[in-house]
Structure 1
Amino acid sequence: MSTPIGLIAGGGQFPLLFTEAAQERKRRVVAVCHQNETQVELEHCADVSCWVKLGQLGKIIRFFHEQGVREAVFCGTITKTRMFKDILPDFKGLTLWNKIDRKLDDAILRAVAGALEGEGITVLASTCYLEHLFFPKGIIGKRKPSQEQLTDIRFGWKIAREIGRLDIGQCVVVREGAVLAVEAIEGTDAAIRRGGQLSGSGAVVIKMKKPGQDFRFDLPATGTKTIETLASVKGSVLAVEAGQSLLFDCEAMIAAADRAGIVVVGVEEDEAGELIF
């Protein structure tokens, strides 16, 4: 194996996929696993690992130094609601937390990345070995959007762009020109359920990166769970920014969407601000 790469892992399959891809490129994966978030399989897949509680920044830095890590990535989800009731920072973590005046996603992650880089650990893009997972452009299932649904996608796109600019979230739920839900700290699935319940049926979900999104962390991601959640509230459309978000389990996701009669489309925006489907 060549030089090690650090992995700060949250939940979901992204850390496992990254580990496999990095090892295929002869990188030794040094994984930091978060209690109550990271899948236990990662402990066995990574070359070496340790478990931390949310906020134990000092422990992460010491572990990386011990393993000779000079490059690291953030992969996977952290349940954001835990930051107010289940965070147990060590001294370095608490010191950093108290310096962050805006407890928003990008502000927190940039502060942690800055602390790591101050310790000689460069934070790389989380997709550095997984570019093939970017969401494709166009309709990726059997079902095509109606003109009414296209109108809702265009409407919701503008709303999603604004909440992203404010670093609130990456997803909105709309129907017939009305905003039903805006993703905040609760996450995409909870926002879909809330908006879908208000809609009754036919909800249109738009998910996209924030303007100026830092590709080192917190990229939008969708998969079969997203479709299952949308199907549970009889939603009709999932529109995702192509090439700027991640798609997991593509074939299974398309099959689930087709069974539920859900439109899945990757959308691009040209220089003039027009959407390309």
Structure 2
Amino acid sequence: MSEQNEVIGIIAGGGQFPLMVADSIRKQGHRVVAVAHHEETDPELAHKVDQIVWIRLGQLGQLIKALKKNGVQKALMAGTIAKRLMFKIKPDLKGLTLMSKIAIFHDDGILRSLAKELEKEGIFIVSAASYVPELLSPPGCLTRRKPTKKEKGDIEFGWRIAKELGKLDIGQCVVVRRGTVLALEAMEGTDETILRGGKLAREKAVVVKVSKPNQDLRFDIPSVGLNTVESMSKVKASVLALEAGKTLMFDKAEMIKFANRSGIAIVSEAG
């Protein structure tokens, strides 16, 4: 089968990303086979792909079977899996075997191990972003308002903290103000981190979201969207700093429009 007519697998989580990737892949002339997760993946995905198989989190054997049965040799991961489901996981035998090999259940460790298992079966994981490069954040200030000198200092400070946090594979987002760390992202996710840190700041918090050092862009790419700046607005946060080319921006136009209306500065800088 030529590269112009491949069968691409999507290991789909929640949110709009799997649907957007599926649309893009099919427009490029490829067939799409999705393995979707109950309680997470949008059922609308079924209308965007050529074949869909539903599994529960941890059913690695079923995932591999579905991809191989449909001739998938190249697959990608797209979408979110709520951390709460990690406590409800019911693995099959293949999934249980994989879990027994993982010492610490952090995102990168789990996903890298999954990718290695799939490679053993002849299925290679590629970056979802390669099919939708237009979603990656461009460099520069993306809003009318630019950060002040003090805010730039907080961006630099928060950036260093976020990179250290990433080394531990815990989270990708920090909230700071006046050189003080107010919140670090953990299991709750970015929006809750913003609300928690923003309430402590009372106003003018700076939110920094970056990729982890040596980030594997095949999975767990940092992402932001309209909901991100809406959360910031609720706590009167003032700046969102992103890593250029390594952050997915969903609803970019609406996001920037809302930020401009709310007086929020969005900057995208090289790592």
Q: Same fold (TM over 0.5)?
A: yes
Partner Cα distance (1:96, 1:207) in 2: 30
Equivalent residue for 1:121, pick from 113, 120, 123: 123
* Secondary structure, counterpart of 2:266 in structure 1: strand
Counterpart AA for 2:9: G
Partner Cα distance (1:201, 1:33) in 2: 40
Aligned equivalent of 1:273: none
Counterpart AA for 2:187: I
Q: CA deviation at 1:78?
A: 0.9
Aligned equivalent of 2:243: 241
Aligned equivalent of 2:234: 232
Aligned equivalent of 1:75: 78
Counterpart AA for 1:167: D
Question: Size of the alignment, in residue pairs?
Answer: 268
Partner Cα distance (2:40, 2:92) in 1: 18
Q: CA deviation at 1:27?
A: 0.9
Partner Cα distance (1:139, 1:250) in 2: 13
Partner Cα distance (2:160, 2:243) in 1: 12
1:163-207 alpha-carbon deviations (Å, 9 max, x no partner):
111111111000011000001122111111111111111111000
Partner Cα distance (2:232, 2:81) in 1: 21
* Secondary structure, counterpart of 1:162 in structure 2: helix
1:62 maps onto 2:65 in alignment = yes
Aligned equivalent of 1:5: 8
Partner Cα distance (2:206, 2:6) in 1: 45
Counterpart AA for 2:79: G
Aligned equivalent of 1:49: 52
Q: CA deviation at 1:247?
A: 0.9
List, as ranges, runs of 4+ consecutive aligned residues in structure 1 with deviation greater than 4 Å.
none
Partner Cα distance (1:233, 1:92) in 2: 44
Counterpart AA for 2:234: S
Aligned equivalent of 2:191: 189
The TM-score, its normalising length taken from structure 1, stands at 0.94
Q: Is the 8 A contact 1:30 1:48 kept in 2?
A: yes
Partner Cα distance (2:186, 2:246) in 1: 19
1:24 maps onto 2:27 in alignment = yes
1:205-238 alpha-carbon deviations (Å, 9 max, x no partner):
0000001100110000111011111111111110
Aligned equivalent of 1:275: none
Q: Is the 8 A contact 1:238 1:263 kept in 2?
A: yes
Q: CA deviation at 1:81?
A: 2.8
* Secondary structure, counterpart of 2:128 in structure 1: coil
Partner Cα distance (2:55, 2:201) in 1: 40
Counterpart AA for 1:16: L
1:48-95 alpha-carbon deviations (Å, 9 max, x no partner):
1011111111111001111011110000111123212x2111111111
Q: CA deviation at 1:121?
A: 0.3
- Percent of counterpart pairs with the same letter? 50
Aligned equivalent of 1:96: 98
* Secondary structure, counterpart of 2:36 in structure 1: strand
* Secondary structure, counterpart of 2:77 in structure 1: strand
Q: Is the 8 A contact 1:33 1:43 kept in 2?
A: no
Partner Cα distance (1:242, 1:232) in 2: 25
Aligned equivalent of 1:36: 39
